[in-house]
Structure formats: structure tokens, C-alpha cells
Amino acid sequence: MSKIRLGVLGGGGDSLIGVLHRVASNMYDRYEIVGGVFNPNYDENIKFAKQIGVNTDRIYVDFDTLVEEELKKPANERIEVVSVLTPNFLHYPMAKKLLENGFNVICEKPLTTSFSEAKELEALQKKNNAIFAVTYTYTGYPMVRHMKHLIAEGALGEIHKVDIQYYQGWINPVVHDKEVRKKVWRLDPTKAGISSCIGDIGTHAFQMAEYLTGMEVSSLLSDLNTLYDDNPLDIDGTVLIRFGNKAKGVIRASQIATGEENNLAVAIYGRNGGFRWEQENPNFLYFLKDDEPRRVIKPGNAYVSKVAADGTKLPGGHPEGIFDAMGNIYKGVAKALRGETSFNGEYPTMNDGVRGMLFIEKVVESHKKGNVWLPMINQ
């Protein structure tokens, strides 16, 4: 089977996201990066393409030229799917034009900078029957997938409580200097949208809550913190959530949790037990019960579910990390593009992206209205 022809927008230079996506796309030998626009500066674009071994014949001066030139090529030579790794404000116009011109898309989160834009992309994706993935990376971890499988199988019984924390400290060193923080694009509403913390990492926690439980959040109440009156975007927040079946939960996200690195921690409790998992120790899934010692479940063993086993590349005892998680998402997209049978939740879909944007807008609205409960309704 031929490799999938992948185009990439953004992610040049020392971009962490760029490295993550390139390694992930190569992990299962399903893709070949054949072209793109890695950098808005054309000379730097060409230089970077040579550095990573991509033929410069399909490195374009800008995004519009990429679309125009690729459409001139026969269908069996054209880029099949494009990864959009640019800052938030470019996701919508790029994804929109790609969908309108028949391309499949892999897009970084958040999907757009507004819920209305996300709904427009959803309609375009359905109209054109395109494959569209939104890279909520942490769903790619084998133990996260195994947890989802066990919850769906009833291991916890009726869900009572969901508690998801995502703490980072990276903004703390810059936010206290007014001039320095002006240069951080995630704190610039024209580039990041209406939220920094919730839009960047809080949306991961929200998506994880719905992904794992299989339930949709029905309403929420939020309290956000910008720390300084002249800082327009949130850098810390707490969100109370309710599901439709009496289950409740809390999402806590912060970019000023001093000293924290990438502390995504999941706890889900039901009538018959609970699960705990941490992104910084991703090979350990803890199963808690009232009537027996807690179990430690690890990938690469014969007892894990098929979906967890399918996303595990190494024997038990060999750590797998963030590159492997993103690689599993790319693998899921590859299987969808080639019409292969996939597991439920093998890659985050357009719906995840749309729900994420609805969450961001409702969180900001709840805070601005004085910390009130708001329904999570797709309008």
C-alpha cells in the first residue's frame, strides 16, 4: 500500500509541535511528508525543508500557492492530507480552504478561535465527506484508551465524579513583566482567541472528560484568573461541570502553577471503582476499589484491551510517551484514509474540536457573567 502523501503548514524551526507531528507521522511508516509551508519566510522555508530531507519542489511560498499548485496535480500525486500546525487564528481560514478544495485535514487544537467558525468547518467537513482530526494528543496513550474501554465495559459502574487537572508553570516567568508578556502570542487575543489557559490546556482536560466517560457535559460554571487587569486572557481557571446523569466534576487548569511542567492528571470515580492516571507517568493506570487492593495496569501485557494493544509499540516495561501518543492518532487517521477498520475513539474528530470550542466560549461567558451556570448546548 502506498504511503499517504502529507503536507505540513507551520511547525518549522525549533517548534515543539513541528517535531512532535513529524516524528508521529513517521512512526508507523504510513505517511511521507511531500511538501508544505513550514515558515512564512520563504528562504527559511526552503532551508528547513532541506534540513529535514523534504524535496523543495513542493515547498511553497505561501499557503494559497500550496493549494493552487497541488490542485493542478493528478489526484494520485496530490497531497492527501494536510497538518495545520500554525497559531490558533490561522486554523479556521486554512482548514476552511483545505476542506473547500477537497483535502483531508489534521489540525492542532483548539480547532478555531470561535464556536461559530468551528460549526462552519463541521458543515464543510460533512458536505465534502473529508477525514478531519483534531490532535488532542493524550487520547493516543495506550492506558488512556484502555481506561476508555474499561469504562465503556462497565468497570466503574455508574459514574459519580470526574476530576481532571492540567497544571503548567511556563507562563509564570513572563507574565509578571508587562512588556515581556505582550510578546507571548498565547496572551494575544488576535492570535490566541478569547482564552489562553482554557483554550490551550483546559480544552484538553474537557475533551478527556468526555472522551473517557462517553458522556457529554451538560452545563458548567467557571472562575478564571488573568492575574493582572491589563492582561486580556486567562492564565488560570477552575470549571465545575455537570453531566446529564447526576455525575459532576471539576476541571482545573493553570499556566501559573509555579514549578509544574506538564501535569495532566485524571481521576474518574464510579459506583464500583475508580481510575487514576497521570500524563507524566503514562504507563501506570491505577484501578481503585473498595474491597480489594488497588491494581496497577501497564501497557504491553496480554491483559490489556485490543485498542490499547494496537497502540502499544513496545513490550511491557519499556516506557512510551508523547510521541507515541501522537503517533497513534496519526495511525488512526491513516486507517480512516485507507478505509481500514478502526476502534472507537482512535483519533479525535471534528466533533471533539467543535465541542472544545463550545466549552471555551461557555467558560469565558460564565466567568464574565459573574460565575454563573450555563448550559452546554450546540447552538
Give the CATH number, domain containing residue 89: 3.40.50.720
Q: Exposed e or buried b for every residue in 76-111, given b needs 16+ CB within 10 A?
A: eebbbbbbbbbbbbbbbebbbbbbeeebbbbbbbbb
Asked if residue 202 is part of any domain, the answer here is yes
Sequence letter at residue 65: T
Asked if residue 375 is part of any domain, the answer here is no
Residue for grid cell 525543508: 49
Query: Based on the domain organization, do 218 and 92 belong to the same domain?
Result: no
pTM of structure: 0.95
Asked if residue 374 is part of any domain, the answer here is no
Give the structural domain span for 20: 4-137
Q: d(Cα 200, Cα 219) in Å, to the nearest integer?
A: 20
CATH of the domain at 151: 3.30.360.10
- State the total domains in the chain: 2
Query: Based on the domain organization, do 216 and 124 belong to the same domain?
Result: no
Strands 274-278 and 281-288: antiparallel
Chosen domain end from 85, 109, 137: 137
The answer to whether the beta carbons of residues 164 and 265 sit under 8 Å apart is yes
Query: Based on the domain organization, do 131 and 179 belong to the same domain?
Result: no
Query: Based on the domain organization, do 55 and 124 belong to the same domain?
Result: yes
Asked if residue 344 is part of any domain, the answer here is no
Say how many CA atoms lie within 13 Å of 254 toward its Cβ. Answer: 17
Query: Based on the domain organization, do 156 and 132 belong to the same domain?
Result: no
Query: Based on the domain organization, do 149 and 280 belong to the same domain?
Result: yes
Asked if residue 209 is part of any domain, the answer here is yes
Strands 132-134 and 248-254: unpaired
Question: What's the pLDDT score for residue 234?
Answer: 97
Query: Based on the domain organization, do 190 and 284 belong to the same domain?
Result: yes
Query: Based on the domain organization, do 168 and 68 belong to the same domain?
Result: no
Question: What's the pLDDT score for residue 163?
Answer: 98
SS (H, E, C) the chain: CCCEEEEEECCCCCCHHHHHHHHHHHCCCCEEEEEEECCCCHHHHHHHHHHHCCCHHHECCCHHHHHHHHHCCCCCCCCCEEEECCCHHHHHHHHHHHHHCCCEEEECCCCCCCHHHHHHHHHHHHHHCCCEEECCHHHHCHHHHHHHHHHHCCCCCCEEEEEEEEECCCCHHHHCCHHHHCCCHHHCHHHHCCCCHHHHHHHHHHHHHHHHHCCCEEEEEEEEECCCCCCCCCCEEEEEEEECCCCEEEEEEECCCCCCCCEEEEEEEECCCEEEEECCEEEEEEEECCCCCCEEECCCCCCCCHHHHHCCCCCCCCCCCHHHHHHHHHHHHHHHHCCCCCCCCCCCEHHHHHHHHHHHHHHHHHHHCCCCCEECCCC
The C-alpha cell that represents 197 in the structure block: 489557559
Question: What's the pLDDT score for residue 235?
Answer: 98
Angle of the 88-100 helix axis to the 115-128 helix axis, nearest 10: 20
Query: Based on the domain organization, do 127 and 212 belong to the same domain?
Result: no
pLDDT beneath 50: ranges in the chain: none
Chosen domain end from 82, 105, 137: 137
Asked if residue 329 is part of any domain, the answer here is no
Question: What's the pLDDT score for residue 379?
Answer: 61
Asked if residue 115 is part of any domain, the answer here is yes
Sheet of 132-134: strands edge to edge? 31-37, 4-9, 81-84, 104-107, 132-134
In tens, the pLDDT along 242-289 reads 999 899 999 999 999 999 999 999 999 999 999 999 999 999 999 999
Query: Based on the domain organization, do 63 and 25 belong to the same domain?
Result: yes
Chosen domain end from 137, 153, 188: 137
Query: Based on the domain organization, do 203 and 133 belong to the same domain?
Result: no
Query: Based on the domain organization, do 158 and 111 belong to the same domain?
Result: no
Asked if residue 164 is part of any domain, the answer here is yes
Q: d(Cα 104, Cα 335) in Å, to the nearest integer?
A: 13
